[in-house]
Amino acid sequence: MTPRFARLRRAIQLALHAWNGFFFTPQPATPIALYRILYGLLVITDLALLHGDWLNWYGVNGLVRLDTLLKLGPGRNLGLFWLIPQNDAWIEAFFWVFLLFAVFLTIGFLSKFSSVAVFVCLSSLLRRNAYILHSGDTLLRACGFFLMFAPTGAALSVDRLLAIWRGKEGLEKPLFWPWAQRMIQIQMSLMYFSTFAWKSIGSDWRDGTALYYTTRLVQFQRFPMPTLDNGIILKLATWSALFVEFACGVLVWVRKLRYWVLLAGVCLHLSIEYSMNIALFQWVAMAGYVTFIDPADLTRTWSWLRRRLGGRLGVPADVIYDGNCARAVRQANVLRAIDVFGRLNILDLRSSAVTSALPAAPEPARLLICRRGSIYEGAKGMLAISRLVPLLWPLAPLSLVLSQPKQSLSVAKAVK
Amino acid sequence: MGWLAKISDNDRVQRAAISCLLVAQLTIMASQAIPVDFYPVTALHGKAALTAIQGELSHYASALGLRQDWMMFAPNPMRENTFIDAEITYRSGRKRIWTFPQMQELGYAERYAKERYRKFANERLWVKDASFLWPDAARYIARLNREPSDPPQIVKLAHYRCIIPWAPAPGEQPEPERWEREVFFTYTVNPGDLL
């Protein structure tokens, strides 16, 4: 083997190793699941904003009629609008079905199917009326494409709870290849780099006067802004916007700089959101930043939040279950999964701590909740812990009225 | 499709297949993102090659619904304020002016929800390439303004523009706004349009 060939082979091996490390090093699904939630909320908001004018944009007698588009090209792809009957009732129904899947995606129910459905619906809006879409829609679609391939339901989702409930998954967090998440990151950075590249061609951005014009476009104006007349301030503002876009496209890949770059990106987007009326784009872009957060940092942040906020939810409760009963074990596992603030001590009935404290064994398949010296079971038990577990907060008002203890006992203290 | 992210026992083949798709997708994305006039492209004499690649790959991107460009206020921001209105002439000869929602005249929440009207009217509708949209828009406006006793007969779509002047020098008066109006489409309303 010649030295040149050996060097080439070594370089290819290194490149393949780096590629595999970047796209295929297993990691938890928490960041992509968090992104799924934000993404779903943004699609819901987008639909809410569109709702009042839905038929004006997509209706039979709207501003752009279907037959006009068909005249442009008979074989034109119109997405789902091609499949549904052309009357306003069906087009309204399409809106509600789209919204339903956006809600499903947000809560992580039928996540895989919902992500595909949301992407198909977003693409259908593009094909039916592209003349009202802006960069926020483009980014939603571009990231939504990769979301279809991501393990979106593997964390923070109803799917995950159902899998735990059915005994298909345990409490340990499974690891996945993050390639879909990496593609969303690349899409985000390409967007910034592209906008930087386009602006670098323009003389107004290079000479630092671009913001003079953007701040004077009356149709874009939002909240009051000081006029940018001063030459130095105008140039600094224009060039700093350009630099932040470059940084978000390129420097974001430098690990040590990443969070500072993202912080600068947030500042840029919030300032645009304040000053310019560009619906949703800033939020769609900022939501993408979640995919750049290291899972370990997410865990650390969540632990910090748990420490800060958990105590404010009230004294912890003991949840006692029968470890020999499969149903009770599954119930206990679901509670462990939703106990995000760590306010529940979930204990097997057969553990020594419990046997010494409980006067009599509970009925099989029922959980016992011990809180503030009282014992609750069944639905009343759920009400008793509803203030401690965010997913049960909707039940909290009921707990004030309905939650009566089965008996009073200072078990909680004894169990500890 | 989340199974594609699941780690399989025999993962070499799966990883290789996914990698091929990723390379293809990255090429499509990058080719669309980089403008042909970007300095490094022109410096490397790659303008013709990039243009050709963009032409080939944009069909795939469009088919997937993933066509993208990020020309936000670029290469240069617009230097004029614009809006579109419609002059509706009724059978009696009466005239009425109707405008698409003007963002600056709406409340903060409403302008957020109605922003797509700005996109449609001010950026897309008046452009000559979008002339196929004009009859639909005129019919829509006629329907919106119909009165059974005095139906609309003619709808004229007009584009208004006003150049943003540069800031006056200290002590000088700012230039007054000069709006130009251009009627870009005149539509004669048919009775069937108002149903």
If we measure between CA atoms, which residue out of A63, A361, A169 comes closest to residue B144?
A63
Higher pLDDT, residue A414 or A292: A292
Instruction: Tell me which residue has tokens 């500890």.
Output: A416
Q: Which pLDDT value is given to residue A403?
A: 59
> pLDDT class for A120, splitting at 50, 70, 90?
very high
Residues above pLDDT 90, as percent of chain A: 57
Out of B2, B82, B111, closest to residue A150 by CB: B2
Residues A51 and A93 in one domain: yes
Number of domains into which chain A is organized: 3
Q: Which pLDDT value is given to residue A412?
A: 45
Q: Which pLDDT value is given to residue A415?
A: 47
Residues 130-149 of A with CB under 8 A from B: 131-135, 138, 141-142, 145, 148-149
Cα–Cα distances in angstroms (integers) from residue B141 to residues A338, B89, B93, B191, in the given order? 53, 12, 17, 14
Distance separating alpha carbons of residues A73 and A247, to the nearest angstrom: 42
* Residue A305 domain-assigned (yes or no): no
- pLDDT tens track for B46-85: 999 999 999 889 888 888 888 898 988 989 999 999 999 9
Q: Which pLDDT value is given to residue A362?
A: 54
Q: Which pLDDT value is given to residue A71?
A: 85
Test A142 with B68 for CB contact under 8 angstroms: yes
- pLDDT tens track for B101-142: 999 999 999 999 999 999 999 999 999 999 999 999 999 999
The predicted model gives A356-382 an average pLDDT of 70
Q: Which of A152, A177, A202 is where one domain is finished?
A: A177
Residues A33 and A148 in one domain: yes
Q: Which of A177, A205, A239 is where one domain is finished?
A: A177
Residues A173 and A201 in one domain: no
DSSP A8-41: HHHHHHHHHHHHHHHHHS-EESHHHHHHHHHHHH
Instruction: Give me the CATH number covering residue A332.
Output: 3.40.30
Residues A250 and A386 in one domain: no
Residues A106 and A167 in one domain: yes
- pLDDT tens track for A6-31: 888 898 999 999 999 999 999 999 99
Q: Give the residue from chain B lying closest to A135, CA to CA.
A: B70
Distance separating alpha carbons of residues B22 and A23, to the nearest angstrom: 10
What ipTM score was computed for the predicted complex, to two decimals? 0.90
A122 vs B: CB within 8 A: yes
pTM: 0.89
Out of B25, B65, B135, closest to residue A141 by CB: B65
CA distance A144 to chain B (A): 10
Q: What residues in B contact A217, CB-CB < 8 Å? A: 77-78, 81, 164
Residues A40 and A173 in one domain: yes
Residues 131-170 of B with CB under 8 A from A: 132-133, 135-137, 139-140, 143, 164, 166-167
Which range marks the domain in which residue A237 is found?
192-292
> pLDDT class for B175, splitting at 50, 70, 90?
confident
* Residue A3 domain-assigned (yes or no): no
Residues A224 and A348 in one domain: no
In this model, does residue A62 exceed pLDDT 60?
Answer: yes
How many CB atoms lie under 10 A from the CB of residue B85? 18
* Residue A37 domain-assigned (yes or no): yes
> pLDDT class for A410, splitting at 50, 70, 90?
very low
Distance separating alpha carbons of residues A33 and A49, to the nearest angstrom: 24
- pLDDT tens track for A70-88: 888 767 777 888 888 989 9
Q: Give the residue from chain B lying closest to A143, CA to CA.
A: B66
* Residue A65 domain-assigned (yes or no): yes
Residues A127 and A155 in one domain: yes
Cβ atoms A141, A181 nearer than 8 A? no
* Residue A355 domain-assigned (yes or no): yes
Instruction: Name A242's Cβ contacts closer than 8 Å, sequence gap at least 6.
Output: A196, A199, A200, A205
Residues A109 and A155 in one domain: yes
Out of B4, B65, B73, closest to residue A126 by CB: B65
Q: State whether residue A321 is helix, strand or coil.
A: strand
In this model, does residue A413 exceed pLDDT 70?
Answer: no
A204 vs B: CB within 8 A: yes
- pLDDT tens track for B14-51: 899 999 999 999 999 999 999 999 999 999 999 999 99
Out of B37, B77, B130, closest to residue A204 by CB: B77
* Residue A20 domain-assigned (yes or no): no
In this model, does residue A407 exceed pLDDT 60?
Answer: no
Instruction: Name A90's Cβ contacts closer than 8 Å, sequence gap at least 6.
Output: A84
Residues A207 and A173 in one domain: no
Residues above pLDDT 70, as percent of chain A: 92
Cα of A316 vs its chain's centroid, Å: 29
Angle at A37 between CA A190 and CA A53, to 5 degrees: 85
* Residue A262 domain-assigned (yes or no): yes
Instruction: Name A7's Cβ contacts closer than 8 Å, sequence gap at least 6.
Output: none
Residues A366 and A287 in one domain: no
Residue A344 backbone dihedrals phi, psi, to 5 degrees:
-115, 135
* Residue A17 domain-assigned (yes or no): no
**H or E element that contains B184:** strand B179-188
Out of A72, A148, A219, closest to residue B104 by CB: A219
Cβ atoms B8, B14 nearer than 8 A? yes
In this model, does residue A371 exceed pLDDT 50?
Answer: yes
Q: Which pLDDT value is given to residue A405?
A: 60
Residues A378 and A250 in one domain: no
Distance separating alpha carbons of residues A293 and A265, to the nearest angstrom: 14
List, in sequence order, every residue forming a beta bridge with A377; answer none if it has no partner. A368
Q: Which of A240, A263, A292 is where one domain is finished?
A: A292
In this model, does residue A241 exceed pLDDT 90?
Answer: yes
DSSP A95-137: HHHHHHHHHHHHHTSSHHHHHHHHHHHHHHHHHH-GGG--HHH
Out of A133, A148, A219, closest to residue B122 by CB: A219
Q: Which two tokens stand for residue B152?
A: 């609309």
The predicted model gives A144-148 an average pLDDT of 96
Test B82 with A279 for CB contact under 8 angstroms: no
Cβ atoms A218, B161 nearer than 8 A? no
DSSP state of B86: E
Q: Which pLDDT value is given to residue B22?
A: 95
Mean pLDDT across chain A = 88
Q: What residues in A contact B82, CB-CB < 8 Å? A: 219
A123 vs B: CB within 8 A: yes
A109 vs B: CB within 8 A: no
Q: State whether residue A271 is helix, strand or coil.
A: helix
